[in-house]
Copies of this chain bind each other. A is one copy, B any other.
Amino acid sequence: MEEDKAMVIFQPSGRRGEIPKGINLVEASRLLGVDIEALCGEKKKCGKCKVRIEEGYFEKYNIETSISHVSPWQEEEGDFISKEEREKGFRLGCAAEVQGNVLVFVPEESRAGKQVVSKAARDINIVNNPAVCCYTVEVKKPQFEEPTADFERICEALEREYSLKNLRIDIQCLRQLPKALRDGNWKLTVSVWNNEEIIRARPGEEKDCYGLAIDIGTTTVAAYMCNLRTMEVIDTVSMMNPQCKYGEDVMARITYHMTTSDGLERMGNDIMEGLNNLVDEAIENTYPPKEKVKSKDKQSEDVEFVEVPEEGKTYLRLTREDIEDVTIGGNTAMHHILLKLDPQYVSLAPFPPVIHHSLDVRARDLGLNINPSAKIFILPNEAGFVGADNVGVLIAEEPYKSDEYQLIIDIGTNGELVLGNKYKLISSSCATGPALEGAQLSFGMRAAPGAIERIKIDPETHEVDYKVIGREAWRSFSQPEEMKAKGICGSGILDVLAELYMAGVVDKSGSFSETQKSNRYRVNPNSNQGEFVLAWAEESSINRDIVITLKDLRQIELGKGALYTGCKLMMRRMGLEKLDKVKIAGAFGTHVDREKALIMGLFPDCPVDKIVAVGNAAGDGCRAALLDKKKRDEANWVARHVEYIELTVEEDFEKQFMQAMQIPHMKDEFTHLEGIVPEEVLHQKVKKRRKKTAN
């Protein structure tokens, strides 16, 4: 690196680059396509550009003392940054100048382009049978003739009225019991966990209790707050996984644990702090914004909820104690780190987890600030690389109840695959890497405004038509300067390889074709590497051409090859020639163009109408387990019922993988798609392709 430049990395986007020293962080963010909010024009007047200088571990550059790698604190920053925030490393992006390598975290509220979170709750069919239920009983006052203790008094009523037998009570809840019973004049509502244990006692009659279903992804964490009685999803909140600063993928985090004495402790604390922030956010959202509340007494503690008629909304005004149940799913590494279980063996062959079975852990034992007597249900793990998140997918999709052979693909930073039907289910994982999600490509970025999400390339002119998030009109219907493209996100990446191939820019091997003469193709003089321009600088908000490089193509091909090989080898194991259904979970599934996916060979052949996107099925599974306790048993059953297959030890794995990286992977062009892709589409494709090859 040149002496007058420094490496700057922005989290959570992961965007990085060498930036001339002396440039402030807002400018640096623009150069790297991150866009920090700066309403006042970098005059230290609006305070919108707050960022946090991270002290975290940073793999390549090991910035341990990054805080000294920015210019000194300026007085004006104090107008917006409290003493506590300052101690945590907060600065104004327009005041702090780059002086050395630095890792910067841009909080959600400081991001100019808010991330598009596609983890909203989907309608799935769930039976209402929650693990935590409320029961109201009224009992007689103790008399000399009948001086039974408070606990036994209500237990008798609970058995008589609700057939609840042999109940236990958590010690913390027991402490509230005498007061609750007397405050309610011998009428009270208890929350019972699993028909086994009383975890809460409230005076008088209460009907509702609430729970959270949390899906901890390597990158994103989403939580659904639900009313356990009505099953209504009250709110969906999400955040970046705060562990991202320790490394982008599962292996990096495990490595961090293995190389740092308190790594596991730190990462575990960070995710728990994150979850607590999520809980706070969900709780805060149940209170009306201050400006909506007219008189001060409406905020008083006596009022249970506040109706704001102009919003047509009722604010429930919940407290942390009102969250009485939580279910959590995540991949095995996230599971282990959350519970502070040593994750190192998950990364070492043969990758055994510490535990498969689900766990019921008291909230206070994990430090989750909800009702302290509540128990957190941790979904079970299938295997080292197919974790509780995949179990969530399974209990949401229930392939074990189906006659059809289903292939369920869940692509996160890692790919998890399940294949089978009600007679047999096998699972495996494939190292798709982050490329398919848009990470670690030259212009890869998250699904946020300015990200290219759809691409078409004219096979004759090689003109690129594309659409960016945040703008309805495609490039061909816009002025160049209207596009404000910034990078390319996961769904765009899934288009680009198929389009480049069909346009003849890329050949079978996945390299830039030697015969093509596209005016958008060039060799970058710095890297001496081929690249194809998707958007010219004038169309971008970062004043640079947005390109896809040969290295990027290789990344994408490695990813799609891994996925295809995984699917193919699993089918072979099952003795299957074709699939009845392909279900694609996660954001990936929502965005993938099914035809293009088949053309580029992302997964084995299947009629296009049998390919369905099932959204955040992992999160749905957590929600199902929250609202129906039978799903918890089902989760444990399926976690041990699915046979995990380690595909990398198959004899011809390498050969299959090499083959799968090519495009198309079949011998005869397109013939494999007959009967799969609608004839009209196929016809057009073949025509285009033939025209190109003829040229």
Chain A residues near B (Cβ < 8 Å)? 142-144, 146-153, 168-169, 171-172, 174-175, 177-179, 339-342, 345, 349-357, 359-361, 364-366, 381, 383-384, 640, 644, 646, 649
Q: Are A144 and B649 in contact (CB under 8 A)?
A: yes
Chain B residues contacting A152 (CB-CB under 8 Å) are 355-357, 640
- Complex: A13 Cα to B329 Cα, angstroms: 58
Q: Which 10 A-B pairs rank lowest in CB-CB distance, beginning with the nearest?
A: A151-B355, A147-B350, A142-B352, A149-B353, A144-B350, A149-B356, A178-B342, A147-B352, A171-B361, A142-B350
Contact across chains for B354 and A151 when beta carbons are under 8 A apart:
yes
Q: Which residues of B contact A143 (CB under 8 A)?
A: 350
Closest to A172 in B: B365
A-B contact pairs, 7 of them (CB 8 A): A144-B649, A147-B352, A150-B353, A151-B357, A152-B356, A175-B342, A178-B345
Q: Which of B171, B345, B350, B356 contacts A359 (CB 8 A)?
A: B171
- Expressed in whole angstroms, the Cα–Cα distance for A171 and B649 within the complex equals 33
Residue of B339, B384, B649 near A174 (CB, 8 A) is B339
Given A174-B339, A179-B342, A339-B171: A147 in contact with B351 (beta carbons within 8 A): yes
Contact across chains for B339 and A147 when beta carbons are under 8 A apart? no
A352 pairs with B150, CB closer than 8 A: yes
> What residues on B are CB-neighbors of A174 within 8 Å?
339, 341, 354-355, 359
Residues in B with CB closer than 8 Å to A351 are 147
Which of chain B's residues has its CB closest to A384's CB? B147
**Contacting pair A356 B171 (CB below 8 A):** no
Distance (Å) between the CB of A272 and the closest chain B CB?
A: 13
> Hey, which chain B residues are within 8 Å of A361, CB to CB?
171
Contacts of A350 in B (CB 8 A): 142-144, 146-147
- Which residues from chain B contact A153 at a C-beta distance below 8 Å? 352
Complex Cα–Cα for A259 and B352 (A): 57
Q: A149-B353, A152-B640, A171-B361 are in contact. List 19 more A-B contacts (CB 8 A).
A: A142-B352, A144-B349, A144-B646, A147-B351, A147-B352, A147-B383, A149-B355, A149-B356, A150-B352, A150-B354, A151-B357, A153-B352, A168-B360, A169-B355, A174-B339, A174-B341, A174-B354, A174-B355, A177-B355
A142 to B384, CA, bound (A): 12
In the docked arrangement, what's the CA distance between A366 and B172, Å? 10
Bound-state Cα–Cα, A383 to B145, Å? 12
Alpha-carbon gap, A673 to B236, bound state (A): 82
Please, how many angstroms separate the alpha-carbon atoms of A169 and B359 in the complex?
Answer: 8
Contacts of A340 in B (CB 8 A): 175
Tell me the smallest distance from the CB of A580 to a CB of chain B, in Å.
29
Question: A352 is contacted by which of B148, B342, B364, B383 (Cβ under 8 Å)?
Answer: B148
Q: Which residue of B lies closest to A644 (CB)?
A: B147
> Once the chains are docked, how many angstroms separate the CA of A350 from the CA of B171?
24
In the assembled complex, the CB of A637 is this many whole angstroms from the nearest CB of chain B, namely 13
Neighbouring B residues of A142 by C-beta, 8 Å? 350, 352
Q: Which chain B residues lie closer than 8 Å to A353 at the CB level?
A: 149-150
Instruction: Given the known inter-chain contacts A143-B350, A365-B171, please indicate yes or no for A356 contacting B148, CB distance below 8 A.
Output: yes
A263 CB to closest chain B CB (Å) equals 14
Residues of B within 8 A of A356 (CB): 148-149, 151-152
Interface centre among A144, A355, A364 (most CB of B within 10 A): A355
